[in-house]
Amino acid sequence: MAPNKSIHFQIPKIDKEGIVVQYDNLDYFYDQLHHHPEFQLIYILEGTGDLFIGDTVTAFEPGMLFLLGSNQSHILKSDPKYFRKDCKEYSRSISIFFHQQSLGAEFLNISETTAIKELIDRADRSLVFTPKVANKIGDRMKRLNSKSGFDRFLETLSILNDLALTDQYKFLASVANVQPPTDKESERINNIINYILSHYKEDIELDTIAKVGNYSKTSFCRFFKQRTRKTFIEFLNEVRISQACKLLRSTDLNISQVCFESGFNNVSNFNRQFKRINDVTPREYTEKFKNLSASPHVITYN
């Protein structure tokens, strides 16, 4: 199978077990576009990078919790430093995989599980939860390793029920999940998104990115708008702002330094784009984060 296609992942034993818990301890998270029929609740234990799913890019870091929809093609790409041979940091996560069928259609129609059914319906747009919810659920997910069989199944149901009852989340995609893209589309999407994530600091010309996707400029603009509901420049700016938020949270760089490190060459434009996307200025964002009141940064496409 060609490595750039949207790879169908087979989760071990998912057909025999209703729920599978998987711990990943890796040099870096997998950076190829892929999909699987199972829903995935993933808690980041260690590592930073970017999640591309649906029509969004979200910077991830330890302590973040995502619920990914069934067959939602996605890329979970670690930051560049993790791909260096001398990197001593690791990327670790714990995931719960489950089929809607595993829980049973009739089981989800009883009054006691109505909330879980609604959560599964919302997950077609994939979700990211606030730090407060993520911390509580993440701790419980880590303890699943000491449980098995029926006890693990019951605790997972309890976790899903608690997530279903909270309103502390944001959607990652603007529309419900659709069928995975064709192999040809997947290869092009994978190449385009990975190029943007690797070169966002540079002045990426339209000619260059069109060639990465093997398109003419006109065809690329049409394809990209269909996939992301944004122009290439709008998407690139939002990727850069996502990186800026990461820098504001994790470094002591001042706002001017963050501006240039995230790919902007004009502080005024940086401030304007930041305010447009986040509804706050970079300075206000930093203050909110210091006060532990900031929600995880998510680029949302309206």
* Cβ neighbours around 267 below 10 Å, total: 14
2 pLDDT above the threshold of 60: no
4 pLDDT above the threshold of 50: no
pLDDT for 11: 52
The position carrying tokens 């603007």 is 174
171 pLDDT above the threshold of 50: yes
To which H or E segment does residue 284 belong?
A: helix 282-290
Q: How far is it, in rounded angstroms, from Cα 242 to Cα 58?
A: 7
Q: Which two tokens stand for residue 287?
A: 């203050």
Q: What is the mean pLDDT of residues 64-90?
A: 92
Angle at 141 between CA 138 and CA 145, to 5 degrees: 140
pLDDT for 45: 97
Q: How far is it, in rounded angstroms, from Cα 36 to Cα 95?
A: 13
Task: Show Cβ contacts of residue 272 under 8 Å, excluding neighbours closer than 6 positions.
Answer: none
Radius of gyration of the chain (CA): 19
Q: pLDDT tens digits for 246-298? A: 999 889 999 999 999 999 999 999 999 999 999 999 999 998 876 654 444 44
pTM (2 d.p.): 0.83
For residue 105, CA distances in Å to 38, 99, 109, 178 come to 15, 11, 7, 21
pLDDT for 177: 64
3 pLDDT above the threshold of 70: no
Q: Which two tokens stand for residue 161?
A: 């029920």
Query: How confident is the prediction for the chain on average, in pLDDT?
Result: 86
240 pLDDT above the threshold of 90: yes
Exposed e or buried b per residue across 169-182, where buried means at least 16 C-beta atoms within 10 angstroms of its C-beta: bbbbbeeebeebbe
CATH numbers and ranges of domains, the chain = 7-171 (2.60.120.10), 200-290 (1.10.10.60)
Q: What is the mean pLDDT of residues 157-182?
A: 87
Q: Which of 7-21, 45-59, 110-124 has the least mean pLDDT? A: 7-21
3-class DSSP state of 18: coil
The full DSSP string for 177-207 is --PPPPHHHHHHHHHHHHHHHHHTTS---HH
Higher pLDDT, 153 or 106: 153
Q: At what angle do helices 232-250 and 282-290 cross, to 10 degrees?
A: 40
Q: What is the mean pLDDT of residues 169-174?
A: 89
Q: How far is it, in rounded angstroms, from Cα 160 to Cα 172?
A: 18
Q: pLDDT tens digits for 18-60? A: 789 999 999 999 878 888 889 999 999 999 999 998 788 899 9
Contact call for residues 38 and 99 (beta carbons, < 8 A): yes
- Could you tell me which residues are beta bridge partners of residue 44? 93
Q: What is the mean pLDDT of residues 223-243?
A: 90
Contact call for residues 72 and 126 (beta carbons, < 8 A): yes
Q: Which two tokens stand for residue 120?
A: 């599964």
- Could you tell me which residues are beta bridge partners of residue 254? none
Q: Which two tokens stand for residue 68?
A: 């990914």
Q: How far is it, in rounded angstroms, from Cα 204 to Cα 191?
A: 14
Q: Beta 169-171 vs 56-60: how paired, if at all?
A: unpaired
